[in-house]
Amino acid sequence: MKFEERLRDRDAWSIGDGCSAGRVLDLLSTKTVFLVVRECFYGTTRFDDFVARIGTSAPAVSRALKQLKAAGIVAPVLYREPGSRARDEYRLTEAGQDLLPVFLSLMQWGDTYLQEGRPPLSFVETDTGRPIRVRVTADAAPETMCDDIEIRVNPAWWRG
Amino acid sequence: MKFEERLRDRDAWSIGDGCSAGRVLDLLSTKTVFLVVRECFYGTTRFDDFVARIGTSAPAVSRALKQLKAAGIVAPVLYREPGSRARDEYRLTEAGQDLLPVFLSLMQWGDTYLQEGRPPLSFVETDTGRPIRVRVTADAAPETMCDDIEIRVNPAWWRG
DNA sequence: ATGCTGGATAACGCAAACGTTAGTTACAAT
DNA sequence: ATTGTAACTAACGTTTGCGTTATCCAGCAT
């Protein structure tokens, strides 16, 4: 990547902590926070399910959800099981859903470089079955939304 | 996102720590590590420049570079300034350059949600000037490589 | 040889995040 | 009213990462 003319001398300017990437990393500061977001994309909504599926402790999830609520990435939604009291479940806000490229690009890189070519899961367009990728492009390619993505499992990983 | 039929019951299976996203987060574990990668994309190669431009301490950069070297994301390259001894500079490997979607998607989200619509920097295709975006798509849109991206500054942020 | 300098790291105290344990809350059941 | 339970959360000791300081190391200069 090249800087435009007046930015070439990197010692002559700074945006300091104004950098968007840096700011995001202050919100998504820990691995647990990221994994909660991942589980949200996978459809997990309830506290104990986050704990079980991430394989972490309840306080870690509690702290992560607190941060994510504060950041406007997840929002609590009341629900009521018959015969139980009302509780909160946690759902991605629009801002949260817009983290999809972050999530998928991490996944994509890991699939390429950490799985020896055998990604456990793959993501395809529900309607067409075409594989989804994250692309850096200037083209106005039609973007696939969360709701139109289906997750499939690599047979090599599948043991019912 | 929906799981394919046999994955619907989330309590009946688990890929545990095989998840690519989780594995990547073990490598890119800290904010400093991410920021070093960011600086690599911005063309920074030398130890002291990382320290100055990230605004962190030398040992933090040392630790981050050690991790990134071990992960194969940056590689040391010898260089020699006239009148000085040979030293290492640090450059992204191919694997490192493939983190571009991760970096840009973080930036893009931050630009949208943490900058009140005034992103400090924007990324355009060098040849055409068209703005670059990270897209989740099944379309075979042509991808723009690192080397074809130019970084421009938002006038509101510019104070030479 | 001795000192000097830029590049990088070890040592160590401090702060942040983790997991274990224990406690709290808001109900349903009896 | 009392007990039971699911869903959290506070308290707290341990681990991990950070920044400050001090040190090391290689090679150029004298």
A39-60 confidence digits (pLDDT tens): 999 999 999 999 999 999 999 9
pLDDT above 80 (res B152): yes
Q: What is the mean pLDDT of chain A?
A: 94
pTM of the model: 0.94
A10:B98 CB<8 A: no
- Residues in chain B with CB shorter than 8 Å from the CB of A141 are 135, 137, 139, 141
Three-state DSSP state, B91: strand
Tokens 């700074």 locate to A14
B158:A6 CB<8 A: yes
Q: How many residues does chain B have?
A: 160
CA angle A8, B94, A3 (to 5 degrees): 10
What the block records as the tokens of A159 is 């043991």
CA angle B120, A96, A99 (to 5 degrees): 60
Three-state DSSP state, B71: coil
Determine the distance between A56 (CA) and C20 (C1') in angstroms. 12
pLDDT above 90 (res A73): yes
Q: How far apart are CA A101 and CA A74, in angstroms?
A: 16
Q: Does A133 touch chain B (CB under 8 A)?
A: yes
For residues A81 and A141, the model is more confident at A141
Q: How far apart are CA B68 and CA B64, in angstroms?
A: 6
pLDDT above 80 (res B89): yes
Q: How far apart are CA A160 and CA B14, in angstroms?
A: 10
Q: Provide, for chain A, the percentages of residues in helix, strand and coil under a 3-state DSSP scheme, each rounded to the nearest 5.
A: 45, 20, 35
Per-residue confidence (pLDDT) for residue A16, from 0 to 100 = 85
| A22 and B35 Cβ atoms separated by less than 8 Å | yes
Arithmetic mean of pLDDT, B14-41: 94
A13:B146 CB<8 A: no
Name the pLDDT band for B110 (thresholds 50, 70, 90): very high
CB pairs under 8 A between A and B: 275
Name the pLDDT band for A157 (thresholds 50, 70, 90): confident
Q: How far apart are CA A67 and CA A152, in angstroms?
A: 30
B21:A38 CB<8 A: yes
pLDDT digits (tens, 9 = 90+) for A93-131: 999 999 999 999 999 999 999 998 789 999 999 999 999
Which residue among B1, B35, B160 sits closest to A149, beta carbon to beta carbon? Answer: B1
The letter for the amino acid at A71 is A
| A135 and A141 Cβ atoms separated by less than 8 Å | yes
Q: Which nucleotides of strand C lie under 7 Å from a protein CB?
A: 6-11, 16-22, 26-29
Per-residue confidence (pLDDT) for residue A160, from 0 to 100 = 62
pLDDT above 80 (res B160): no
Q: Does B146 touch chain A (CB under 8 A)?
A: yes
| B33 and B40 Cβ atoms separated by less than 8 Å | no
A149:B2 CB<8 A: yes
pLDDT above 90 (res A28): yes
Distance of CA A57 to the CA centre of its chain: 20
Q: How far apart are CA B45 and CA A8, in angstroms?
A: 14
Per-residue confidence (pLDDT) for residue A100, from 0 to 100 = 98
Which residue among A10, A126, A141 sits closest to B141, beta carbon to beta carbon? Answer: A141
Q: How far apart are CA B106 and CA B114, in angstroms?
A: 11
Per-residue confidence (pLDDT) for residue A45, from 0 to 100 = 96
Which residue among B4, B114, B137 sits closest to A143, beta carbon to beta carbon? Answer: B137
Q: Pick left, alpha or beta for residue A125 (phi over 0 → left; psi -120 to 50 → alpha; otherwise beta).
A: beta
Distance of CA A62 to the CA centre of its chain: 18
Per-residue confidence (pLDDT) for residue B101, from 0 to 100 = 98
Alpha helix segments (H runs only) across A17-117: 20-27, 31-41, 47-54, 58-70, 94-97, 100-113
